[in-house]
Structure 1
């Protein structure tokens, strides 16, 4: 098989890149380890930055998002002293859109089907060959048979555990990581959201988040130890703990109900440099992982897609290689900016195992500054709605 861009990984970043490139007449082949149904079953983020929304519209997949997505002009932060609002609209004239990653993926699959894009699911033993040459290729197995895809470029959209990052030689690759000593216990419930916008809560018992996917589907999280057994948490125990950590006025009125999904997500900050090696490009979680605090994961991947799409479009249209040559440095500037914001939000809102009363007061003081200093709110708002491309 021959194509122009081989894309490893059929999650939202791989699908979006394929959609954008195909609309420019650039051929792609998307290789995905799992089935389509499995990809669509993943429960992931639900807050889209302004730039993400614009790029999805540009890709021709914004119709359903614009119809049923929930615009949010701010968010709430909560301390033991009560909750307060940070207005993105007032601070930076911006907003975010609540629209689940599962829905984004569904829209992208439908769009890819409509244009006849090539996808191969349930592939095994994917390998990237000759990435440093002018003629890279990818091999994989499907149903016991080995296949080969010759291409001009390879986009590694295959996540943290994928093959793409490991293809970059260890002597070239630099990795930066912080693993946090806690996780997020999350549930999905068919209940009305606890508030009109997200609530991020700092509490002596630990962090909590009240979020939503739509008007009858809510997503809630509480901070738990990294090694916490999920079997410990019945629905009743979760709701009781969540109510303890949220503001009283919210806890007293929130609707509860059976969970339809429950899981514990570990938290880490991770960056791989460089994000390009020869004709291989890393995109999204293959190159970086952020804590979910601040909702940057999917949005950061979309930023990578934007830079790579523009680079490849300029190359195939004009023969201009500047975007390809600068892809890694350009993407990493935005990656580290989002990494700082997610680290700051995580550090400000969570209880750490060795945290003292002094540390707790510092967190509360940091939060109080957001109440009293407009420039602090503006900085948070700008980062939350998304740094410019």
Structure 2
């Protein structure tokens, strides 16, 4: 891709068509705001999009079928649609786990990865998929992050929660709380801080300030409530500082997220799943989105599922999908501008 200040090219994937994906991507592709900040096109199936339009009472649906991103018009009022032609004859039933629905959803992700690896898109925003449906379709990966990491062969796919000014990373995620405590080691924290620093610099943060959360109440109270801060977390922060990383802490987890909102830090590495998720979702659940860094392109996702219980009723709200697409476009623009500045 040429080095300039053009708007990023954004693929939007439809997600599992048995869920609310078609409705929320339709709403996203109707958002004038999105076209102001990126050049979006949809990867999905025409029949699902047309059904979603009917459910939402959209009578002026204008679809431009494309086979390559280069054929897109990128004009608000026209939806550029790249159909993957997988399970074309499937009859999708809303609200149920179906093999064909999962095959379609997976094909959208595979296509976005193919385009991303070729440098033909800058970012992708993904609507929800269903893990049980993926398993039924014998997809060899459990979810979005695993699919993108495996198929891009990325060693350091990094999940960042973004809610307005809050940027939160996770030292551990889908493990028990007991296991999460065992994973709080000096070596893992240092490695994580190094990765966070490199990824944020890669999208334009010159010297990212990283505030590290404590594990125990009151930062362990000098060892009275646990020694992880003394034995692992503080030493890892010092190790990172010795490498030129602008890391700080550990700070008490009951206050550090407020520090981030006040501008003290650019981001917070939380030490386990709920520590960061509770802060973000309490602050603004609908606008909590996931960003995956460390891939050849920017990737974002909503922080909700396929919502089978309301699928096909025409009542799904696209606020989170629009926000996921908006945030990915903004970070992608930062990345493009940074690469232009440094001549990458």
| Normalised TM-score (structure 1) | 0.21
| Normalised TM-score (structure 2) | 0.23
Structure having the larger proportion of residues in strand: 1
Higher RCO structure (Cα 8 Å, ≥6 apart): 2
